[in-house]
Structure 1
Amino acid sequence: MNAPRVRGRLTLDDRRRIAGWLDGGLGYAEIGRRLGRPTSTISREVARNSTDGEYRPGHAQETAVHRARRRRPPRRPGQPADVVRGFVDEFAALLSATGLPRMTARVFASLLTADAGGLTAADLVALLQVSPASVSKSIGALEAMELVARRPAPSIRGRRERYTIDDDVWLRAWQADTGAHGRVAEVAQRGIGIFGPDTTAGTRLASMGRFFGRLSEQMGGSTLAEAAGYDALTVVAALVHAGRPLTPDGLATALGWPRDRVVAALAALRRRPAIADPLELCDAGSGTVTVEARADRLSPAQREAIRRFHLASPATVVTVEGCRTSSPPATST
C-alpha cells in the first residue's frame, strides 16, 4: 500500500524506509511515489548522504538537523518574530512604492532592523525564505547605491561576510540625490536654450528645471548660510539697483569689497542659479554682468498677458528702492 502524500522535511522514519527500499532494489521514482515526494528529492537525499555507495539514514538525519539549525532565522530580541516580519514587510512595501525592487527593499529593511553586527547572506536567506541568488542580487544593488557596507565575519567558519548599514548611510544617500537633482536642473536649463522658452518642450523643461532646482537647493542645505550665498544676493541687489550692466571691478568699488569677493559671489550665482530666483545672472558683454527675470519663471502665455496689461495700463510705475509703487500725477483736463 502506498504511503500518503506528505509535506515538510524528511523524517528519520522516512529515511529508514528509503534505506530499506533501496536494499530491496526499488528505484528512486518508485520510492518517491511511495513517500509522496518528487524523484529528484530522493535522488538528492541518497547522493548527499551515501558513503562508499551505501545510504546511511542515521547520518542523513543528523546532517539534516544540523543544516536546519544553521538555516534558522537569527533571533530578534525584544519582539516576536511575526511582529518583526510584519514590520519588515510593511516597510519594504513602502520602499517598493518609491521605485526600489521588492526583493531589494525586503533585504534593506531586514538589514535596517538587524543588530549592530549585521546579517550574513545565509541569515538573510533564512530570514526571508528566499534563494541565495535573490539575496546576492539585492545586496549587489544596495552596494551599488552605497546603502550597505560589507564586513568580515571572522567568527564564522568559511569565507563569509556580514552586511550592515552604516550610521552615515542617509547622509550619503541624501548627497547622491542632491547631486542628481542639481544635474537634472542644469540639463533642463540647457534644453530651454536649445528648444526655446516659448516652445512646448521649453515650457516642460522649464517646469522640470524649476522643480529639481528648488529641490536641490533645499536638500543641499541652506545656501544662504554660506558667505558666498549672502554675497551673491547682495550682488543681485546691487545690479537691480544699478539698473544697468556693471563690471566685477565696478561692483567691487561700489560695494567696497575686494575683487575676489565679488568674483566668488558671481561664481556662486552661476553655479547655483536658484539663489537669485526669480532673477538670473546674465553676461551683458564687454566683461559686464546684469540680472534679468528668468525666462522659465513665467510661461509664454503669462508673459504675453503681462505685456498686454502693461500696454493697456502704462501709468503704474514701480520704484525699486523701498518697494514703493507710485503713479505719475494726474493731468488736469
Structure 2
Amino acid sequence: MPGGRLTQPERQQIALGLADGLAYAEIARRLDRPTSTVTREVMRNGGPAGYRADLAHRATEHRAQRRKQTPARGTGAGTGRGSSVDEQAYGRDAEAVRAYEETFTTVLMQSGMPKMMARVMACIMISDQGSLTAPELVQRLEVSPASVSKAVAFLESQGLCRRDRAEGRRERYIVDDDVWYESVMASARATAQVTETARQGVGVLGRDTPAGIRLENIARFADFVSESITRAATQARAILTSRPQTADLSGAFDEDPEEEPPAGGAAS
C-alpha cells in the first residue's frame, strides 16, 4: 500500500469517485490507500459536495510550505504547531501525531460537529493534560483567537468542555474524562424524547391506524435503545477513569445495576 502524501492524479480520482457517488472505502480501494486517508482528505477540503482536486492540492502544498517556514521554538506547551510538547513527548513521531489529530477531527466532523469546533476538541483531547489555554490553541491550530473563542463557546454549550482559571488571568479549557459519559447520556435523553413524542402521536392519530401503528413501533424501538444506552453507559462509566490494564468490566452487563444482590450472597 503506498504511503506519503496524495498526488494530484490521486486527488483527481477522488473527485471523480465523489462525482460518481462512490463510498470513501471504494475510492480508497481503487487508490490502494487507507479509507481514513481519503476521508480526511475530503473532509478537510470542502466535504463531499465541495471537494475540488486542484484546490485541495494547492491547499496541501501551502500547508506543507507553511510548516517548513515555521521555526522550531523549543518544546514548551505553547511553542507552536510544529514542536508542541505532546507531539514529541514519550518518543512520539510528530508527523504521526498530526496525522492522527486530523483523523480524529474528521471523525468528529462526520458525527455532526462543525469543523473548527472539531479541531479544538481533538486538539484538547489528544493533549496529555487534557486541557489547553487559548494562546496554546491559537498556536497549535494556527487560527485566530476569535475562532478559538467561538469554538469553545459551542463546546461549552454542548457540555463537551469547561473553563477553569489557569495561571494569572488566563483561562484553561478542559475536556474532562467524564465527557463521553455525559455525551452518551445526552444522546439517550434525546432518544427518550423521541419515544415520548411518538407516543403523543399515537394518541392523536389513533392506536389502530397505520400511522399510529408506525409511531408506536418507533416509540418501542426508541424506548429500548434509550434504556439500553443508559444502562450500558452507567455500567461502563468506570472505564473512563481507570487505567486500561486495571479496568475490568467482565460480567458487568449480566445484570441490572439497580438490582440488589440476593440475601446472604452467593453460596460457597
Q: Place the TM-score, normalised by the shorter chain, in its bin.
A: 0.5 to 0.7
Take 1:87 and 1:216, find their aligned partners in 2: how far apart are those partners?
Answer: 31
- The SS at the match of 2:173 is strand
Unaligned runs of 5+ in 2: 1-71, 233-254, 261-268
Residue number in structure 2 paired with 1:129:
142
2:119 is the counterpart of 1:111:
no
Q: How far apart are 1:96 and its partner, in Å?
A: 1.0
Q: Evaluate the alpha carbon distance shift between residue 195 and residue 106 of structure 1 in structure 2; reply closer, same or farther with a 3 A threshold.
A: same
Residue number in structure 2 paired with 1:75:
85
- 1:201-241 CA distances to partner (integer Å, 9 max, x unpaired)? 4344234323321111101117954349xxxxxxxxxxxxx
- Give the conservation status (yes or no) of the 8 Å contact 2:108–2:118: yes
2:191 is the counterpart of 1:181:
yes
- Give the conservation status (yes or no) of the 8 Å contact 1:71–1:122: no
Superposed counterparts of 1:152-167, under 5 Å: 152-154=165-167, 159-167=169-177
Residue number in structure 1 paired with 2:38:
none
Take 2:110 and 2:139, find their aligned partners in 1: how far apart are those partners?
Answer: 25
**Aligned letter for 2:165?**
P
Residue number in structure 2 paired with 1:196:
206
- Give the conservation status (yes or no) of the 8 Å contact 2:132–2:173: yes
**Aligned letter for 1:226?**
E
- 1:98-150 CA distances to partner (integer Å, 9 max, x unpaired)? 11112111111111011216211111111111222221111111111111121
**Aligned letter for 1:194?**
V
Q: Evaluate the alpha carbon distance shift between residue 126 and residue 181 of structure 1 in structure 2; reply closer, same or farther with a 3 A threshold.
A: same
Q: Evaluate the alpha carbon distance shift between residue 224 and residue 191 of structure 1 in structure 2; reply closer, same or farther with a 3 A threshold.
A: farther
TM-score by length of 2: 0.53
1:170 pairs, out of 157, 180, 191, with: 180
Residue number in structure 1 paired with 2:3:
none
Q: Evaluate the alpha carbon distance shift between residue 203 and residue 119 of structure 1 in structure 2; reply closer, same or farther with a 3 A threshold.
A: same
Take 1:195 and 1:182, find their aligned partners in 2: how far apart are those partners?
Answer: 20
**Aligned letter for 1:192?**
V
Take 1:224 and 1:117, find their aligned partners in 2: how far apart are those partners?
Answer: 32
1:217 pairs, out of 212, 215, 227, with: 227
Moved over 6 A (4+): none
Residue number in structure 2 paired with 1:208:
218
Q: Evaluate the alpha carbon distance shift between residue 208 and residue 117 of structure 1 in structure 2; reply closer, same or farther with a 3 A threshold.
A: closer
2:161 is the counterpart of 1:148:
yes
TM-score by length of 1: 0.43
Q: How far apart are 1:75 and its partner, in Å?
A: 2.1
The alignment's C-alpha RMSD in Å is 2.7
**Aligned letter for 2:148?**
V
- 1:47-86 CA distances to partner (integer Å, 9 max, x unpaired)? xxxxxxxxxxxxxxxxxx99xx966233211323322111
- Give the conservation status (yes or no) of the 8 Å contact 1:117–1:162: no
- The SS at the match of 1:220 is helix
Paired residues, number: 159
2:112 pairs, out of 68, 86, 99, with: 99
> Bigger radius of gyration, 1 or 2?
1
